[in-house]
């Protein structure tokens, strides 16, 4: 069967361009196998040494389209304003400009005319189709490439010019009134860019000669931007104005909240928890992104093993007692607490929460925001809640002796109290409460369970590399979970799905210590943490290390990630 009409036209154009001889053309046109467009491209490049650009030019002449060198196009903030990135990735197109009412769009597939009609419906503008190489368009549409190229250069240039014109500080009106003021654009763009990059935190750090902006993505910080040091004061002042803080106070740390929906026109509905601190080269700012559109996950999606999930569900359905979650900042404690509350939130249960800040708004649950400046602390909120006839009370964090005492009292008087504490593992929580001045018999009487947790990066399902563990890795798996077999490691080159990092998303690991008679007895005798851990493990507790090894076995993460998150248990090291 001869080649299709369009393929024949492309070959004719290559002959006209002097890239194919008449004999080569005749052989190609008479091929019996009728190759597809991609196969023909490969044949022309491999057998006839046609370059990719020559092929693009021939296609354009055959189809009556203009060629466009996508590789040289530089992405900027306005690139995806009319046509969003997701639509571009799905249809392999790239908006490259605008002329009057016409949008210039580079297409990888020139035959798909329906996409142009969809764009016209979305934007109300007519489309001029250009032809670009699919590989170039694919490269430009990679998320990391988008974020790397959508730089802040235009705003920084304007700021530089503003400072050069007059070396004085930026005026107050430039921080508040003008939407077009460069410092306002810069603050908004940093927050928007971090949100679209999937960051959990934004760090703005003043150095001696510059200001460094870093994002925390999947638990790791990445440098994003460097700004001139003279911009620092104005940027911090703008962020303070956004969360109603005192811009004149630069000597003391301050905490605030930005409701970002008020400040952007892209309908980015997020709040930011803001903390400022005086550092040696100026004020530093850290902002935690709280995505209000992100709903809580169901408990089974948080990474609990089947055994731990069954135990935890039993604990959160107890009529009274204290459930504590422990782990460092950013270990997923809040998400687990919210998921647990969602599961027990029914019409016959009254739930009150005291939080600082309220991270997610949960329907059907009464939440209270703390205000330490006016005396509304966790302890004050707890006292008020005990007069509000609740069934379940959530306290954001037990920070001091007063809160701990009231929490234990609440747990002993018919309420289920859920809270968080900063300790390394579940057994050391008992020692932490004892240090706060809580009597051991009060702890043993009130405690239902302690859940220690961490977040580990998931290894990318698409590009992960399977291998058989040997030596120390094999021994570690056998000692911790009594298993050894094929496991996975991250691909150092990564792929498009994981933005070339080898990891995509995160999963929780848990150490669930549920109280039993032997444990209660040991707490009353003021046993050491190591002894409590031994008793808990004898009662069926899997340590954080053991749970991380289960995740390695299941192919969810790598050995390197597991060991960098939690160390091997001392008991297992001793056995080795």
Model confidence pLDDT, tens digit, residues 72-88: 777 766 677 788 888 88
Residue 1 has a pLDDT of: 41
For 306-332, what is the mean pLDDT?
93
Q: Let me know whether 315 and 386 are in one domain.
A: yes
| CATH number (domain holding residue 197) | 3.30.450.90
Residue 115 has a pLDDT of: 87
| Residue 146 belongs to a domain | no
Choose the final residue of a domain: 122, 141, 160: 141
| Residue 241 belongs to a domain | yes
| Residue 391 belongs to a domain | yes
Phi, psi of 426 (to 5 degrees): -65, -50
User: In Å, how far are 149, 155, 281, 282 from 207, measured between CA atoms?
Assistant: 24, 20, 6, 8
Neighbouring C-beta atoms of residue 354, cutoff 10 Å: 25
Token pair for residue 356? Answer: 């600082």
For residue 572, is pLDDT > 70? Answer: no
d(C-alpha 217, C-alpha 565), whole Å: 15
Q: Let me know whether 324 and 430 are in one domain.
A: yes
Give residues with Cβ within 8 angstroms of 412, minimum separation 6.
320, 442, 445, 446
Q: Let me know whether 412 and 389 are in one domain.
A: yes
Higher confidence at residue 123 or residue 171?
123
For residue 102, is pLDDT > 50? Answer: yes
Residue 523: pLDDT band (50, 70, 90) is very high
CB distance 186 to 159 below 8 Å: yes
For residue 576, is pLDDT > 50? Answer: no
| CATH number (domain holding residue 360) | 3.40.50.300
Q: Let me know whether 177 and 124 are in one domain.
A: no
For 375-382, the CB contacts below 8 A with 24+ separation are 377/403, 378/354, 378/403, 379/403, 379/406, 381/354, 382/354, 382/406, 382/407, 382/410
pLDDT in tens, 197-252: 888 899 999 998 889 999 998 888 888 888 888 888 989 999 999 999 999 999 99
Q: Let me know whether 205 and 165 are in one domain.
A: yes
| Residue 147 belongs to a domain | no
| Residue 246 belongs to a domain | yes
| CATH number (domain holding residue 118) | 3.30.300.160
Q: Let me know whether 56 and 114 are in one domain.
A: no
CA angle 77–81–84, rounded 5-degree value: 110
Residue 146 has a pLDDT of: 59
| Residue 388 belongs to a domain | yes
For residue 513, is pLDDT > 90? Answer: yes
d(C-alpha 89, C-alpha 103), whole Å: 17
**Would the CA dihedral through 461, 464, 465, 470 be positive or negative?**
negative
Q: How many domains does the chain have?
A: 4
Give residues with Cβ within 8 angstroms of 204, minimum separation 6.
190, 211, 212, 213, 235, 236, 239, 284, 285, 286, 287
Token pair for residue 175? Answer: 């921080």
Q: Let me know whether 99 and 187 are in one domain.
A: no
CA angle 260–273–191, rounded 5-degree value: 45
pLDDT in tens, 106-138: 988 877 778 888 888 888 888 888 888 888 888
Choose the final residue of a domain: 99, 122, 141: 141
Q: Let me know whether 304 and 204 are in one domain.
A: no
Please name the residue that has the structure tokens 């489309």.
127
Q: Let me know whether 465 and 565 are in one domain.
A: yes
3-state secondary structure of 252: coil
For residue 165, is pLDDT > 70? Answer: no
Choose the final residue of a domain: 258, 291, 324: 291
For residue 152, is pLDDT > 80? Answer: no
d(C-alpha 407, C-alpha 445), whole Å: 12
Could you tell me which of 424, 478, 460 has the C-alpha nearest to residue 558?
A: 460
Residue 313 has a pLDDT of: 95
CB distance 330 to 455 below 8 Å: yes
Residue 488: pLDDT band (50, 70, 90) is very high
Bridge partners for 489 per DSSP: 465
pLDDT in tens, 320-349: 999 999 998 888 888 899 899 999 999 999
For residue 180, is pLDDT > 80? Answer: no
- Percent of the chain with pLDDT strictly greater than 70: 89
| Residue 205 belongs to a domain | yes
Q: Let me know whether 287 and 337 are in one domain.
A: no
pLDDT in tens, 351-400: 999 988 787 778 888 999 888 889 999 999 999 998 999 999 999 899 89
For 504-522, what is the mean pLDDT?
94
H-state helical runs in 221-362: 232-242, 306-316, 333-344
Q: Let me know whether 76 and 193 are in one domain.
A: no
Q: Let me know whether 234 and 285 are in one domain.
A: yes
For residue 168, is pLDDT > 50? Answer: no
| Residue 520 belongs to a domain | yes
The model's pTM: 0.68
d(C-alpha 534, C-alpha 544), whole Å: 14
* Domain of 83, in residue numbers: 67-141
d(C-alpha 567, C-alpha 327), whole Å: 14
Token pair for residue 185? Answer: 């654009």
Higher confidence at residue 165 or residue 55?
55
């Amino acid at each position: 069967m001869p080649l299709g009409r369009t393929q024949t036209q492309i070959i004719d154009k290559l002959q006209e361009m002097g890239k194919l001889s008449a004999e080569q053309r005749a052989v190609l046109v008479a091929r019996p196998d009728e190759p597809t467009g991609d196969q023909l491209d490969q044949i022309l490049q491999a057998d006839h040494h046609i370059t990719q650009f020559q092929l693009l030019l021939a296609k354009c002449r055959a189809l009556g389209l203009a060629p466009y060198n996508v590789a040289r196009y530089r992405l900027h903030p306005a690139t995806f304003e009319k046509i969003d990135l997701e639509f571009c990735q799905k249809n392999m197109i790239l908006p490259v400009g605008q002329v009057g009412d016409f949008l210039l769009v580079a297409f990888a597939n020139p035959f798909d005319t329906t996409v142009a009609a969809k764009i016209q419906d979305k934007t109300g503008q007519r489309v001029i189709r250009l032809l670009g190489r699919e590989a170039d368009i694919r490269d430009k549409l990679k998320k990391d490439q988008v974020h790397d190229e959508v730089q802040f250069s235009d705003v920084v240039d304007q700021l530089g010019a503003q400072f050069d014109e007059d070396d004085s500080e930026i005026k107050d009106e430039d921080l508040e009134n003008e939407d077009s003021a460069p410092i306002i654009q810069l603050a908004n763009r940093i927050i928007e860019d971090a949100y679209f990059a999937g960051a959990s935190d934004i760090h703005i750090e003043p150095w001696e000669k510059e200001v460094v902006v870093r994002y925390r993505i999947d638990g790791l910080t990445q440098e994003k931007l460097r700004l001139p040091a003279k911009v620092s004061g104005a940027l911090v002042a703008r962020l303070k104005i956004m969360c109603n803080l005192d811009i004149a106070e630069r000597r003391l740390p301050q905490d605030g909240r930005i409701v970002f929906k008020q400040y952007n026109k892209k309908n980015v509905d997020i709040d930011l928890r803001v903390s400022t601190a005086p550092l040696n080269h100026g004020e530093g700012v850290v902002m935690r992104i709280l995505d209000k559109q992100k709903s809580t996950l169901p408990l089974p999606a948080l990474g609990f093993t089947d055994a731990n999930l069954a135990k935890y569900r039993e604990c959160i359905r107890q009529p009274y007692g204290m459930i504590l979650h422990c782990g460092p900042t950013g270990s997923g404690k809040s998400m687990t607490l919210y998921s647990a509350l969602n599961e027990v939130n029914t019409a016959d249960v009254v739930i009150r929460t005291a939080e600082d800040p309220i991270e997610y708004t949960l329907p059907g649950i009464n939440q209270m925001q703390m205000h330490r400046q006016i005396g509304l602390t966790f302890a004050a909120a707890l006292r008020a809640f005990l007069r509000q006839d609740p069934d379940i009370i959530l306290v954001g964090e037990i920070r001091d002796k007063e809160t701990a005492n009231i929490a234990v009292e609440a747990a002993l008087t018919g309420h289920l109290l859920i809270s968080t504490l900063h300790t390394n593992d579940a057994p050391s929580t008992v020692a932490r409460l004892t240090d706060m001045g809580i009597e051991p018999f009060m702890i043993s009487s009130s405690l239902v369970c302690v859940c220690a947790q961490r977040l580990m990066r998931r290894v990318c399902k698409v590009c992960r590399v399977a291998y058989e563990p040997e030596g120390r890795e094999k021994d570690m798996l056998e000692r911790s979970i009594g298993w050894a077999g094929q496991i996975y490691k991250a691909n150092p080159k990564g792929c498009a799905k994981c933005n070339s990092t080898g990891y995509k998303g995160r999963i929780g690991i848990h150490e669930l210590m549920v109280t039993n008679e032997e444990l209660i007895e040991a707490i009353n005798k003021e046993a050491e943490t190591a002894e409590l851990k031994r008793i808990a493990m004898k009662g069926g507790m899997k340590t954080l290390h053991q749970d991380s090894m289960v995740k390695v076995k299941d192919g969810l993460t790598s050995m390197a990630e597991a060991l960098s998150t939690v160390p091997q248990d001392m008991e297992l090291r001793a056995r080795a």
